[in-house]
Amino acid sequence: MAPARAPPNDRSQQAGLKVDADAALAELIERLPGARVLCVGDVMLDRFVYGRVERISPEAPIPIFRVEREQSMLGGAGNVVRNLVSLGVQAQFVSVVGGDQAGNDVMRLVGGSDRLEPHLLVDRQRPTTIKTRFVADGHQMLRADQESSAPLSETTARDLERLIVGAVGECDVVVLSDYAKGVLGEATTRAAIAAARKARKPVLVDPKGTNWARYRGASVLTPNRLELAQATGLRAEDLPEVEKAARRQIRALGLEAMLCTRGKDGMALVRPRGRSVAMAAMAREVFDVSGAGDTVIAAFAAALATGASMERAAMLANVAAGIVVGKVGTAVVHPDEVRRELVHEANVASEAKIMSLAQAQEQVQRWRRLGLKVGFTNGVFDLLHPGHVTLLRKARAACDRLVVGTNSDASVKRLKGKDRPLQDEASRATVLASLASVDGVVIFGEDTPLAAINQLRPDLLVKGADYTIDKVVGAREVQGWGGQVVLVDLEQGHSTTRLVGKASGRT
Which string of DSSP letters, residue by residue, matches 273-294? SS--EEE----SS-S--TTHHH
Q: Are residues 91 and 190 in the same domain?
A: yes
How many CA atoms lie less than 13 Å away from 126 in the CB half-sphere? 22
Judge if pTM exceeds 0.75: no
125-to-112, 122, 378, 442 alpha-carbon distances in Å? 26, 9, 52, 47
3-state secondary structure of 172: coil
Q: Count structural domains, the chain.
A: 2
Domain assignment present for 348: no
d(CA 55, CA 224): 39
Please give the chain's pLDDT, 507 residues, in tens: 333 333 334 333 333 334 456 667 888 888 999 999 999 999 999 999 999 999 999 999 999 999 999 999 999 999 999 999 999 999 999 999 999 999 999 999 998 788 999 999 999 999 999 999 999 877 889 999 999 999 999 999 999 999 999 999 999 999 999 999 999 999 999 999 999 999 999 999 999 999 999 999 999 999 999 999 999 999 999 999 999 999 999 999 999 999 999 988 889 999 998 888 888 876 555 444 566 889 999 999 999 999 999 999 999 999 998 888 776 566 788 888 887 777 553 344 456 789 999 999 988 988 887 778 999 999 999 888 888 899 999 999 999 999 999 999 999 999 988 888 888 888 899 999 989 899 999 999 999 999 999 999 999 999 988 889 999 999 999 999 999 999 998 765 445 555 445 445 554
Domain assignment present for 10: no
Domain assignment present for 176: yes
Which of these, 304, 270, 444, lies nearest to 360 by C-alpha position? 444
Q: Are residues 389 and 323 in the same domain?
A: no
Beta bridge partners of 74: 45
The CATH number of whichever domain residue 290 belongs to comes to: 3.40.1190.20
Q: Are residues 393 and 301 in the same domain?
A: no
343, 372, 401: which is the final residue of a domain? 343
Q: Are residues 126 and 260 in the same domain?
A: yes
Which of these, 129, 120, 81, 79, lies nearest to 102 by C-alpha position? 129
d(CA 176, CA 427): 44
Domain assignment present for 16: no
343, 363, 394: which is the final residue of a domain? 343
Question: Among 123, 178, 206, 294, which one carries the catalytic annotation?
Answer: 294
318, 343, 368: which is the final residue of a domain? 343
Q: In what order do the strands lie in the sheet with 139-146?
A: 63-76, 43-56, 129-136, 139-146
Q: Are residues 195 and 288 in the same domain?
A: yes
Q: Are residues 261 and 360 in the same domain?
A: no
Q: Are 228 and 260 in contact (CB under 8 A)?
A: yes
Q: Are residues 374 and 315 in the same domain?
A: no
The identity of residue 429, as a single letter, is: A
d(CA 179, CA 307): 28
Q: Are 261 and 297 in contact (CB under 8 A)?
A: no
33-to-84, 188, 281, 315, 460 alpha-carbon distances in Å? 10, 29, 26, 18, 36
Q: Are residues 188 and 85 in the same domain?
A: yes
Q: Are 366 and 451 in contact (CB under 8 A)?
A: no
Element (H, E) at 353: none
Domain assignment present for 349: no
Domain assignment present for 7: no
Q: Which residues contact 450 (CB under 8 A, 6 or more apart)?
A: 473, 474, 477
Q: Chain-centre distance of CA 428, in angstroms?
A: 26
The identity of residue 339, as a single letter, is: R
Domain assignment present for 12: no
Q: Are residues 275 and 301 in the same domain?
A: yes
Q: Are residues 417 and 452 in the same domain?
A: yes
Range of the domain at 416: 354-504
Q: Are residues 42 and 156 in the same domain?
A: yes
Q: Are residues 382 and 338 in the same domain?
A: no
d(CA 275, CA 181): 36
The CATH number of whichever domain residue 414 belongs to comes to: 3.40.50.620
Domain assignment present for 426: yes
d(CA 127, CA 45): 11
d(CA 19, CA 232): 37
d(CA 53, CA 231): 40
Is position 114 annotated as part of the catalytic site? no
How many CA atoms lie less than 13 Å away from 241 in the CB half-sphere? 12
DSSP string, 356-414: -HHHHHHHHHHHHHTT--EEEEEE--SS--HHHHHHHHHHHHTSSEEEEEEE-HHHHHH
